[in-house]
Amino acid sequence: MNQTQTLIQECERRGVTLESRGQMLYVEPEENTTPELVEQLRQRKFEIIGILEAKQRAAWNHVAKQIILGEFDGCAYAMRRNLIAGLCSLQNPLALRAIGKLKEVSQR
C-alpha cells in the first residue's frame, strides 16, 4: 500500500470523509483533522482525487451492470433520472448501454 492510500485509510479511521468534485477535495468534518493531516492532504490532493474518482467509476460500473441485468426495471422515474445523470459521467460502452436500458424501461 502506498502513502496516499495509507493517508486515505487514516482519514477513514478518524471518521473524515473525503470527496472530490472536479479538482476540489472536500474534507469533512474538519474538527476530526489536525493541521498535520490537512497539510498531508494538500500535498497529495491530486493523487487522492485520482483514487476517489477511480473508486467512483468502479461503483458506477457496478450499477451499470445491475441496470443491464434488470435490477432497476421497476424503479421510480426520479431514480432513473438520477441514475442516468450519474452514468453520463462515465462515457464508456457499459454506461451507455445501461442508459439505453433505463430509457427503454421509461418508455414502457
| Alpha carbon distance 27, 31 (integer Å) | 10
pLDDT digits 0-9 by tens, 8-48: 999 999 999 999 988 999 999 999 999 999 999 999 999 99
Q: Report the percentage of the chain scoring pLDDT > 70.
A: 98
One-letter amino acid identity for 68?
I
| Alpha carbon distance 97, 55 (integer Å) | 20
C-alpha cell at 39: 497539510
| Alpha carbon distance 35, 32 (integer Å) | 10
Counted domains in the chain:
1
Average pLDDT, the chain: 93
Domain with 74, as residue range(s), is: 3-106
Tell me, what's the pLDDT at 39? 96
| Alpha carbon distance 5, 34 (integer Å) | 18
Tell me, what's the pLDDT at 91? 84
Which residue in the block uniquely carries the three cell numbers 498531508?
40
Strands (E), the chain: 17-21, 24-28
Residue 57 has pLDDT above 90, yes or no: yes
